[in-house]
Amino acid sequence: MWLARATYSSHNREKRTPLDDSARRWEVRRAMAKIGAAEVKKLREATGAGVIECRNALAETDGDQAKAAELLRQRGIAKAGKKSDREANQGLVEAYIHGGRVGAMVEINCETDFVARNEAFRTLAREIAMQVASMNPRYVNADERPANIAAGDPDHEALLDQAYIRDGKRTIGDMVKEGIATLGENIVIRRFTRFELGKSDGSVSGDEADAAS
């Protein structure tokens, strides 16, 4: 008798699941219908995500822009993790010069020449070059920091860990992950160098730094 009840209960749960899924899909579709084009455009401008992704995120968060942006960011990070092992041998070298006195060059890689020519990728490279010129990081990532340097030392902060100069709530690492989610390819900051007028300590940081210096 107990076995029969258990089997019946399990059977009922299995039968209810499709109905529950259908109800959830209906709720999402109904919420999507209420999302206007202006709301989608605003979220796209803030995150760089696609129209469908933005509309879905807004539907799932009842139209809350901040929550939708955070949801897209979380999903972008998940996508970034899946692509991080793929080879990135294309890309570009971007330079930024400020007032003729400070300059930076950054090599940033992607998987295909198609993405390397994409304006969103070029913009990301420009912003990173500007970050290097402004904040003078020592390393691309924390793994490059010598063992005798304490973590958290502001004079030895890695580029990927630095707060973005235009938005202190995001790091350069966050920007790279968002770029991966938007463009659909692995993106890697390979190395950078920074120069300042009258100083002779310009150096290369990142992969193959020794060979390049």
* DSSP one-letter code for 146: -
**Cα 79 to chain center, whole Å?**
9
* Domains in the chain: ranges and CATH: 2-83 (1.10.8.10), 90-212 (3.30.479.20)
Q: Which two tokens stand for residue 168?
A: 């202190």
Give the 3-state secondary structure of residue 144: helix
Residue 132 amino acid letter: V
Record the pTM: 0.61
- Angle, helices 37-47 vs 51-60, to 10°: value is 110
How buried is residue 196: exposed, middle or buried, by Cβ count under 10 Å (0-12/13-18/19+)?
A: middle
Picking from 4, 212, 207, the residue whose alpha carbon sits closest to that of residue 109 is: 207
Residuewise pLDDT in 10s, the chain (213 residues) = 444 444 444 444 445 566 566 665 666 666 666 788 888 888 877 776 777 888 888 999 999 988 888 888 787 766 666 777 788 889 999 999 999 999 999 999 999 999 999 999 999 999 999 999 999 999 999 888 888 776 666 667 899 999 999 999 999 999 999 898 888 889 999 999 999 998 876 556 666 444 343
Calpha distance 106→95 (Å, rounded): 6
